[in-house]
A and B are shown apart, each in its own frame.
Chain A
Amino acid sequence: MTPPVADRECRSALRHSAPSIVYFAQGLPGFDGLRRWELVEREETRPFLWLRAVERPQVALLVADPCDLVDGYEPAIPAGVWSRLGAGSETRGLTLVVVSVSGAEMSANLRAPLVLDPQTMRGEQVILEQGEWPVRFGLTPHEDGATQPGTGRSLACSSSVER
């Protein structure tokens, strides 16, 4: 299966923006004061990425490209986000979602995506006031690896969002 173009673009943008330290000027809700987070990709935990607090490395979150998890995820990012990120008019933002693991259960927070500007390496966790995206979107993979509804691929991948 051919990967959607947008997915390739956002992944390569991440790889080429070393060092991958993202500055969250407003911090992340629940982690007041932690503004610099490093994006780390590890072979053994693909398709997930790690977001690790630079000032407190024991605090690490699992994040993922939503295109790897859910069909048709197209969050409406308020215009003000782009001005806060210092994004230029040509910017294609990147979207990641925070993944929670509890035992063998996994969920992704589609309600509050992380929006990054790969040029400025600034980011914000955008809480979507409008819309129906859930805070806990179940991702639990099957033991046998079978594809289940809700984790299918999306050809209209939207993790790379147009400004």
Chain B
Amino acid sequence: MLVLSRKIGQSLLIGSDIRIKVVEIRGQQVRLGLEAPDDVPVIREELHREVAETNGRSVVKDGAAVADLAARMRRQTPKTERPNGTEDDR
């Protein structure tokens, strides 16, 4: 990993269009300003990891249990009744 020292107000460029600027240092916390093109997602790594773990846990293991829970959801959400003749089961 490349490690560089920066002072408050100084920046780094990644490529020509991503800029990371040190905005503030407060105790153990560093505030960074980021400029990146619209098509580059900027996400805190721990949030990405949490979503990845949640996705992994969400893989369905018991389809029968899902059908049971879905039936209960339908009873409390009458809105989800669909119009007749539009079934598309595969």
Using a CB–CB cutoff of 8 Å, the interface residues on chain A facing chain B are 1, 3, 7, 11-12, 15, 18, 28-31, 40-48, 50, 59-62, 68, 78-80, 83-84, 98-104, 106, 109, 111-112, 125, 127, 129, 135-136, 139, 141-143, 145-148, 151, 153
Counting chain B residues whose Cβ lies within 8 A of the other chain, the interface size class is: 35 or more
4 closest cross-chain pairs (CB), A and B: A145-B75, A80-B38, A30-B52, A141-B72
Contact present for A28 and B55 (CB under 8 Å): yes
| Set of chain B residues within 8 Å of A141, measured between Cβ atoms | 69, 72-73, 75-76
Collect the chain B residues with CB atoms within 8 Å of residue A42's CB.
89
The 8 A CB mask of B53-90 against A (1 = contact, 0 = none) is 11111111011011101111111111110100011111
Count CB-based A-B contacts (< 8 Å): 137
- Please judge, given known A-B contacts A62-B58, A68-B79, A111-B51, whether A127 and B43 are in contact too, CB under 8 Å: yes
User: Which applies to chain A's interface (DSSP): helix, strand, loop or mixed?
Assistant: mixed
**Does B41 reach chain A (CB closer than 8 Å)?**
yes
Which residues of chain B come closer than 8 Å to A143, judged between CB atoms?
72
Chain A residues, CB < 8 A from B75? 141, 145
A1 vs chain B, min Cβ distance (A): 6
B residues sitting closer than 8 Å to A (CB atoms) are 37-44, 47-48, 50-60, 62-63, 65-67, 69-80, 82, 86-90
With A7-B79, A80-B39, A145-B76 already in contact, the answer to whether A106 and B69 are too (CB < 8 A) is yes
Assess whether B76 is in contact with A142, with CB atoms less than 8 Å apart.
yes
Q: Once the chains are docked, how many angstroms separate the CA of A52 from the CA of B53?
A: 17
* A135 in contact with B50 given A43-B87, A61-B58 (CB within 8 Å): yes
Tell me which residues across on chain A come within 8 A of B74, comparing CB atoms. 46-47
A143 to B73, CA, bound (A): 10
> How many angstroms from the CA of A106 to the CA of B47 in the assembled complex?
20
Q: With the chains together, A29 CA to B39 CA distance in Å?
A: 17
Beta-carbon contact of A151 and B58 below 8 Å: no
Distance of B8 from chain A, by nearest CB (Å): 23
Given A68-B73, A109-B51, A147-B77, 17 more pairs with CB closer than 8 A: A29-B51, A30-B52, A31-B55, A43-B87, A44-B71, A46-B74, A47-B73, A47-B77, A48-B70, A98-B58, A101-B60, A101-B69, A112-B54, A136-B54, A145-B75, A148-B76, A151-B76
Question: Smallest Cβ distance from A126 to chain B, in angstroms?
Answer: 8
Q: Give complex CA distance A88, B77 in Å.
A: 33
